[in-house]
Amino acid sequence: MAAHHITSFEYFIDHGLQKAIDSESVIEPVIKPLGSDDFKIKLGKITIGRPDILEADGISRQVTPMEARIRDLTYDAPMMLTVSYFSNNEKIAEEEVNIGRIPIVVKSKYCNLYGLNETELRNLKEDPNDPGGYFIISGTERIIITTEDLAPNNILINKDNQEGFIYSCKIFADSDTIKVPHSIQLSSSNLLYITFGKVKRAPLVVMIKALGLDHDDTLIKKIAGGNEDVENTISMNLTAFDVETEKDALEYIGRSLHSVHPKDTAEANIDSVLLPFLGRDKDSRKIKSEYLVYVTSLLLKNALAGTEVDKDHYSNKRLHSEYYNMDMLFRSVFRQVINDAKYNFERGIKRDKVPSPKYIFTSDQLTARIKSALATGQWVGGRVGITQHLDRRSFPSTISHLRKVESLLTSNRENFRARDLHGTNFGRFCAVETPEGPKIGLTKNLAVLATISEEGIDYKEVLEKIKKYGVKPI
């Protein structure tokens, strides 16, 4: 009943934590120790202990969820991180540091109840039928509400309501470290524009040329694929935005950003912010150009046919549980921990001594901020209501609460189509259970037998399989 909460949390601990650490794995202090030209602090493997408690007499022991409830404790476990000092590419120190504590989901494999039989659970005063899937924060049971959102890195083509535009394509680009919404718009005069990050309504054909595809005939052929109407539209865009070479295109985009060094600024934005899920370096420009060609062709063909992508179809949506929310929270808090560690190290150097890793990492901040977010539901990015107090009025109400799904759409807007019972909800959501009032249709409940697929798809394995079916790499 709560399997999706448990497996999602376990995936976050098994993989998400280490990925977050690896994304910030090297700290380069500005102030370096004497005699060291190149000094780096490298972060290694993170390990999670078992939920425990440090008693007043200084003895540490494992704690059960029932004890945490009765004594108003937080059911959490210590996080240990390997920290190494490298001076001139030579390791000079390494320590395992306690960077804080992380709350543990009850009945997950990191819980002290994991693997116990019914008799053992009863002896510990635990309910053998309790589904788990929740945290215990200061004695209170809290759950992360599963949220519904549009699928990232997906192409959504719809009629555009903005004045002067008739069709648009939206891509919510998402890589591990950056999320950037992209919009490609077709104006009423058949001109194409792209918007992402700081780049606002840049001509799409100029952007494709900036990525290296700067031969007009090739560009028309790739996008149109023999469709005369599409060919005319692209030719019109090439005439309206007369840019010949890749260098000229980069200069054009850089000038639109009001940069002193337009070419460098354009390259920085294109490489790091444009379609980051395809790569964030110069080598990814070719695949980005091919992707934009494909999206442009799709947008123009939909516009000519007058068709749209049904964004309420459930293939275009994703459900986010513990992994997505905890990963977002941990990355945000850990960046601040990294900044503090850097500051503490440099402060120690100013006093003519190299501080130990245990000195520069303080565990209080990470523990307090994660605990506070789970206790209040106030998340990074200004989101609220991410966690709720677990409903314990009856066993069915507990199960219902654990299987609740909330849309990220605001309830004070109509959003009629999003509230409707879509055909693809069949077998996935209860057709009846939804609150009346502003949240009707936006708050749903998973069907009793519905399951959520687990995170952790091996993309390399998928790529190898599709290559065997004849798909050729770009």
- Residue 413 makes CB contacts below 8 A (sequence gap 6+) with none
CA dist., res. 181 & res. 308, Å (int) = 19
- Check if 3-149+318-403 and 156-305 are the same fold: no
Instruction: Enter the DSSP assignment of 189.
Output: T
Count of helix runs (H) and strand runs (E) in the chain: 16, 18
Q: Where are the alpha helices (DSSP H) in 172-243?
A: 204-210, 216-224, 228-240
Contact 188, 164 (CB under 8 A): yes
User: What pLDDT band is residue 159 in, cutting at 50, 70 and 90?
Assistant: very high
- Tell me what the pLDDT averaged over the chain comes to: 91
- Residue 8 makes CB contacts below 8 A (sequence gap 6+) with 321, 322, 323, 324, 452, 454, 455
Read off the pTM.
0.88
User: What pLDDT band is residue 464 in, cutting at 50, 70 and 90?
Assistant: confident
Q: Is the pLDDT of residue 184 over 80?
A: yes
CATH fold of the domain at 3-149+318-403: Rna Polymerase Beta Subunit; Chain: C,domain 2 (3.90.1100)
**What pLDDT is recorded for position 455?**
74
Coil/strand/helix, residue 87: strand
Domain ranges of the chain: 3-149+318-403, 156-305
CATH fold of the domain at 156-305: 3.90.1110
The CA distances from residue 21 to 26, 28, 83, in Å, are 9, 15, 11
User: What pLDDT band is residue 161 in, cutting at 50, 70 and 90?
Assistant: confident
**What pLDDT is recorded for position 356?**
87
Q: Is residue 453 exposed (0-12), middle (13-18) or buried (19+ Cβ within 10 Å)?
A: exposed
Q: Is the pLDDT of residue 91 over 90?
A: no
pLDDT in tens, 388-444: 999 999 999 999 999 999 988 887 778 788 888 889 999 899 988 898 988 898 899
Contact 288, 211 (CB under 8 A): yes
The four Cα atoms 407, 412, 413, 417 give a dihedral, to 10 degrees, of: 40
Burial 61-97 (b: 16+ CB within 10 A, else e): eebbbbbbbeeebbbbbbbbbbbebbbeeeeeeeeeb
pLDDT in tens, 107-119: 999 999 999 999 9
- Average pLDDT on 93-120 reads 94
- Average pLDDT on 247-262 reads 90
**What pLDDT is recorded for position 125?**
92
